[in-house]
Each structure stands twice: as C-alpha cells, then as structure tokens.
Structure 1
Amino acid sequence: MAKSGKGRHRRGRQHIPVGAPPGTLIADPLAHPTHLRLTLIAPDRHHSIDHATMADIVGNRDKWPVIWLDCAGLADVALIEEIGRQFGLHPLALEDVVNSGQRPKVEFFDDYVFVALRVPDQASLLHYEQISIFFGEKFVITFQDQPGDPFDPIRRHVATEGPNRLRERKADYLAYALIDAVVDSYFTPIEMLSDKIEKVEESILDGTHKKPMQDLHGLRREIMGLKGILWPLRDALAALIRNDDPFVMRETKIFLNDTLDHAMRMIELVEIQRDTLTGLIEVHLSLAQARTNDVISLLTIVSTIFIPLTFLVGVWGMNFDPDLSPWNMPELRSYYGYPAALLFMISIAAALFGLFKWKKWL
C-alpha cells in the first residue's frame, strides 16, 4: 500500500520550461532514486530480478511470455528514456510519467495502452502518489514516484506454486490485476474517512467538540479530493473496457468490469459521505444558532427581571428631603423601609420569574 504521510516529502508537479520540445523529460529535484525490479513470468515458472539493469531487460525480453518491469523513483530520466526506446513508448506518455500529478486517464497506442492512476496516502486523503502503467501484448511496465505500492499481493500471487492465473494468462490480465489493486487501495482510507465522520458527528451532537468547523472543512477537502480522482478513474476504466484493442482480451474485460463496479461503489460511498458532511455542517450551524438564541433569551429574561428593580432603586435613591415637604418621599423615614423595599423588589422578581415559567420561556 502507499506509505503514510510521516517522513515523506511532497513532490510538486515539475513544469516544463516554456519553449521546450514536447516530450521533454525533466526530473523533479526531490525525486527518489530510480530502482528497477524485473519479474519474468511463464505458465510453469517465474523469476524476479531486484536492482535490474537494462541488460537484464534486453536479455530476457524475448525469452519469457510476459515480463513486468517495475520502476520506482523517477530521478534518472536518462534511464526512463532508454526504457521508452526499448519498448517504443511515446515521449508524451513518458512526459506524463515524470510530471506526476496527472488525473486518472487511459490512452491507447498502436502496440500498448497507457494508464495513469493515483494511489491515496493511507494517512491522509490530501496526498496521492501517481502510478503509471504501460502494457502491451507481452509486457507490463509500472512507474511510481517512490518505493512502496499496493502490488505486494500481486507479487506474492505470481510467486505462488501450482496453477496460477497470473502466470497462465497474458500481459493484459496482469495489468488488470495491478489496476484492480490500485482501485481497491481506496477502500481502506474511505472506511477511515467514514469513521472520522461518525466520530465528528457524535461529538457535535454531544456538544463536546471544541473545533467542529475546522475538522468538518478538513474532511470536506478530503472528500472533494476523492471525488476529483474517482470520477476520472471511472471514466478511464470504462474507456479501457469499451476499446477494441486486440491485446486486451474479452475475458480480461469481464474482470475489468468488476473493477469498474468497485470504482462505482466507492463513488457512491463518497457521495453519501459528502451528503452526510453537508448535513453535519448544517446541524452544527443550527446548534450554534440555537445555543446563541438560548444565551440571548437568558440574558433578555435576566435583564427584564432587573429593569423594574433598577427603576425602584433609582427612584428611592433620589436625594429628596422629607422635612421640606410631605411629598418628598415620606417613606424614607419608615422604620422598616429598607427591609420592606427589599421584600417588595424580591416579590417583583419572583412574580416575573413565575410568569416566565408559566409562559415556558425558561
């Protein structure tokens, strides 16, 4: 599987200088060193050469029914160009290999098919690695940005003793198996994304989430990134199935249909997640508005209770002298005036509180 984001450097798309001829290959300064692994496949045997050289490739190409060349790391553009010359790969296709960041697509040539795919980072759906696959009648070539891929189950299957469909069939079936492994690598991060959404949903409804909008927008970015990859992936698989290339067998297209179904199911899951996330954003905003309204209502009720009390305190706090006139607040001389005033104000506050409870405003 693709590696987690920890300890990885991020590669940006390498831009070709203005005026450079089409098909110019320029290595990314941060590209990983190029490493070749050659897998030789026949119905009754197989052989793998790690750290393969061009001499290994040229010397074994015509001796085996199917060869699989895996190129990890794109720093050595001279070696990549030499591979292209040996297998007749178009320079523009090789340019798409080196300039990673391509949207999933499929291109058909006279003797081979070029498929560009993206593998998700298992730790975050914000980062993807490009995997490019070329396959013809007797060869499969895979290019990837760096070591680590979802192809280990395929390698183990090739090495399995006894009847083996990967060894018995042609290169198109091996290419299908690799494409299917890339597509299936999305299931785990999509399930992890669903778990994240469920946890955020629970915390929002419980009122325990401290920064819900930050997490919701982060999840939204991951979902939008997934949508931007899965829809082109679906189109590429559909084009691969519809095309009538002679080296893509009819039986292989049946298996590719199953891979297309997987892609469609993932699109449906992502659409459901997007709708759920949209609903959560609306719920969060509604809850925030409701909490704000509750606070405003409480403050309004408190203010309403204290308005008459403040009025009474203001009236009794005026500096009138009852000796000058019987109209100048004679109650100021009352022996029990202070406790009577407090009792009167408490009675008003209690009456208002009872009224609010009766009206169900509290």
Structure 2
Amino acid sequence: MIVSVVSMPEGTVARTHVSEARERLAASRFLLVDIELPVEASPDEQPVAHQLGLEAEDLAWLGREGESARAEFLGDSAGFVVPVVEAGEITHVHAFVTERYLVAAHRGPIGPIGSLIARLPHERPSDTVATLFLLLEEALGTFRRSAVQALLEVEDLEDEMFQRRHPRQVLRLTRLRRRAALLHHSLLPYLEATDETITRRMMSGTFPEERQRLARSYQRAARSVLADIASLQDASRRAFGSYSSLVAGEQNGVINRLAIVSTIFLPLSFLTGFFGMNFTYMTDELESKVVFWLLAVGLQAIVLFIALYVLHRTRLWRKLRDDGPDEQ
C-alpha cells in the first residue's frame, strides 16, 4: 500500500504511513488522501476504511475489489466508484468525500490521480467537493481520449480499406467495435447513477450555487463523452458497412467474369459434347478430314468469334479489362 497525503489548497504532496494519514484525517480541515493498493488483493488485506479509522462511515466498499459503479450521498458525505480507462483496460477509483477531506483508493497506479495531483497547485480548488469534481472530470477525460483515439483508428482503417482491402481489417474493426461497446457499457451505468444523484441533490434546495455550477459543468462534460462514444459506435458500423459493400462489389465482379466466361464456353461445350457423344454420326457421315475440320473445329471458331463480337459490342469485355487493375 502506498499512501500519499496532499495538503490543500497548496497541493503539497507527501508520502506517509497509513497511521499518519489516519491522524491527519482526524485533524486536518482540507486534505486529499490517495491510497494505491496492490493490483491483486491478498486474503488477509484489511479494509481501507478500517485502516483510516473510518469504520463509523459504513465504507466497507471503499477499496474493495470488484465493486460496481456507485454514486450516492451519505448525509454530509458522498461515495463514488468511478470507472477510468487505464492502459486500454477499465479499472475503478473509489472516492469518499466529506467537507474536510477526500479519500481516493485504487489498485495499481492510475493516470487520472497523477494528473489531478499535478493540477491542484494550479487549480487551487476551494474545497473538497471542488476537488472531487476535478477527479470526476479527469476520469471522464480517459474515456474521451480512448474514444477519440479509437475513432481516428476507425477512420484510418476505412481509408485503408478503399485503397486495398484485406481480411485482417475485419479483425481490427471487430476489436475497435468491441472497444466502443466496452466504453459505453462501462460508462453509461455510472453516468446514470451520478446524474440521478446530482440531480436529486440539486433539487433539494440546500446545494450551494457554486457546487451547482460544478455539477452542471460535469454533466455537460459527461454528455459530451457519451456523444464521442456514440460517434465511435456509428463510425465502426459505417466501416463495417463499407467493408461489406467492397466485398459485395468484388463478388459482383466475379459474377460478371463468370458470365463472360460462360458466354464464350457454353456454346463451345455444347458443340464439343454434341460431336463427342455422337460417334455414329462422326464415323458414318463425316466423309473426310476436311469435313471434320469444317464442322467440329470451324463451327466452334465461328461461335467463338460471334461470342467475342457480342462481348465487344456490349462493352462487357472493356469493363472486364478496366476492372483488372483494381484487383491488384
């Protein structure tokens, strides 16, 4: 466990022991405590709330592995389980805020926490609630960046498909589509919970105006991130449609070529089959080699010439020639 204590509003960071963090939580009036837990929970791991002396707050969920999204007010405090995107994976930051302190717990290093701590000396939030909204916005930023990056990848992949289609592109599109679904599935329940909680709190009449402004700003940012994820989903569907259209176009090209081949070879096959299956006619009626060449070979040459002439007049042959380079 790594415990970092940030003195506010100066933003001074200090690594400390959990016992000292517990003492400062009891005495300080404005404090941020960041707790980095091991990635894998050990069987004998003590609850974070117990180690910080917060047993009376009913915080058994704080730092517990496998917690789902949460956003709830608990009297004069609030608890959140905030999803974030870290190294392409979805993880969670647990946050508990009161009027005097903000406690954040997570497993392994989390980018939004580092970004928040770096912003604090410049932002200088007025209280713990303002600090909490900064943390929530940092978490939203991870979803926005992931969605925008995936959207750009989809657009580049779609351009690449029109230049040269390859079966591996379907696998890449599938992964990007799954990423969009993962972002949406992870973020939507959390945003619904926070929106319901914040709206109910704003309607209570006891929510200060400054905090209402922060809440409205956060809700606008949340809707913007959802719109970015929706754009990613639309782009991935459009790219799949483009790929299907390209495949259908190539299939139509193959069908056209087969039609051209059949135009030439079906009459020849008929003539070859006729003479090949009528041996009596060939032995009894064909009096010389000249007659054989005229009927068996000359007739096929005439049919071939007529077929090529028809293809030339209908421009199918030209279309076959023009479509050739596109396949390379």
TM-score (norm 1): 0.75
Number of matched pairs: 310
- Quote the offset at 1:224 in angstroms: 1.1
**Matched residue, 1:130:** 92
Select 1:271's aligned residue among 209, 217, 230. Answer: 230
- Quote the offset at 1:52 in angstroms: 2.5
User: Does the CA-based 8 Å contact 2:4-2:35 persist in structure 1?
Assistant: yes
Q: 1:282 to 1:197 in 2, by over 3 A?
A: same
User: Does the CA-based 8 Å contact 1:200-1:209 persist in structure 2?
Assistant: no
Q: Kindly provide the CA deviation profile for residues 105-147 of structure 1, in whole angstroms up to 9, marking residues without a partner as x.
A: 301112310011111134x3xx211111110010100011212
**Matched residue, 2:23:** 59
- Quote the offset at 1:86 in angstroms: 2.8
Q: Kindly provide the CA deviation profile for residues 206-258 of structure 1, in whole angstroms up to 9, marking residues without a partner as x.
A: 23333233222222111111111232233234234321589964313312322
Q: 1:343 to 1:266 in 2, by over 3 A?
A: farther
**Matched residue, 1:108:** 73
Look up the equivalent residue of 2:7 and give its one-letter code. Answer: L
User: Does the CA-based 8 Å contact 1:172-1:249 persist in structure 2?
Assistant: no
User: Does the CA-based 8 Å contact 1:106-1:240 persist in structure 2?
Assistant: yes
Aligned-partner Cα distance in 1 for 2:251–2:110: 50
User: Does the CA-based 8 Å contact 1:136-1:247 persist in structure 2?
Assistant: no
Aligned-partner Cα distance in 1 for 2:246–2:81: 44
**Matched residue, 1:189:** 146
Aligned-partner Cα distance in 2 for 1:266–1:159: 26
Secondary structure of the residue that 2:112 maps to in structure 1?
Answer: coil
Aligned-partner Cα distance in 2 for 1:221–1:81: 36
- Work out whether 1:98 is the aligned partner of 2:98: no
Select 1:235's aligned residue among 192, 197, 207. Answer: 192
Q: Kindly provide the CA deviation profile for residues 74-129 of structure 1, in whole angstroms up to 9, marking residues without a partner as x.
A: 546315142464363314433xx4133513x301112310011111134x3xx211
Aligned-partner Cα distance in 2 for 1:251–1:92: 31
Aligned-partner Cα distance in 2 for 1:281–1:321: 59
Aligned-partner Cα distance in 1 for 2:247–2:205: 61
Q: 1:246 to 1:172 in 2, by over 3 A?
A: farther
**Matched residue, 1:24:** none
Secondary structure of the residue that 1:205 maps to in structure 2?
Answer: helix
Select 1:352's aligned residue among 307, 310, 314. Answer: 307
- Quote the offset at 1:197 in angstroms: 0.6
Secondary structure of the residue that 1:189 maps to in structure 2?
Answer: helix
Q: 1:278 to 1:47 in 2, by over 3 A?
A: closer
Look up the equivalent residue of 1:90 and give its one-letter code. Answer: D
Q: Kindly provide the CA deviation profile for residues 262-304 of structure 1, in whole angstroms up to 9, marking residues without a partner as x.
A: 2111211221222222222223223222322321231232123
- Work out whether 1:288 is the aligned partner of 2:247: yes
- Work out whether 1:175 is the aligned partner of 2:164: no
Aligned-partner Cα distance in 2 for 1:249–1:88: 26
User: Does the CA-based 8 Å contact 2:148-2:228 persist in structure 1?
Assistant: no
- Work out whether 1:140 is the aligned partner of 2:105: no
- Work out whether 1:39 is the aligned partner of 2:3: no
Secondary structure of the residue that 2:8 maps to in structure 1?
Answer: strand
More helix as a share of residues: 2
**Matched residue, 1:255:** 214
Aligned-partner Cα distance in 1 for 2:129–2:182: 29
Which 10-residue stretch deviates more, 61-70 or 181-190? 61-70
Secondary structure of the residue that 1:130 maps to in structure 2?
Answer: strand
For structure 1, list consecutive stretches of 5 or more residues without a partner in the other structure. 1-33
- Quote the offset at 1:62 in angstroms: 4.5
Select 1:200's aligned residue among 126, 138, 157. Answer: 157
Aligned-partner Cα distance in 1 for 2:137–2:274: 84
Look up the equivalent residue of 1:106 and give its one-letter code. Answer: A
Secondary structure of the residue that 1:98 maps to in structure 2?
Answer: coil
Look up the equivalent residue of 1:250 and give its one-letter code. Answer: E
**Matched residue, 2:264:** 305
Q: Kindly provide the CA deviation profile for residues 161-217 of structure 1, in whole angstroms up to 9, marking residues without a partner as x.
A: xxx632xx1111111111111111222211110111112211222233332332222
User: Does the CA-based 8 Å contact 1:204-1:212 persist in structure 2?
Assistant: yes
Secondary structure of the residue that 1:137 maps to in structure 2?
Answer: coil
Aligned-partner Cα distance in 2 for 1:57–1:176: 22
Q: 1:357 to 1:100 in 2, by over 3 A?
A: farther
Taking only aligned residues, the RMSD between alpha carbons, in angstroms, comes to: 2.9
Secondary structure of the residue that 2:54 maps to in structure 1?
Answer: helix
Look up the equivalent residue of 2:54 and give its one-letter code. Answer: Q
Percent identity between the two aligned chains? 15
Aligned-partner Cα distance in 2 for 1:69–1:108: 19
**Matched residue, 1:48:** 13
TM-score (norm 2): 0.82
- Quote the offset at 1:342 in angstroms: 4.3
Aligned-partner Cα distance in 1 for 2:245–2:262: 25
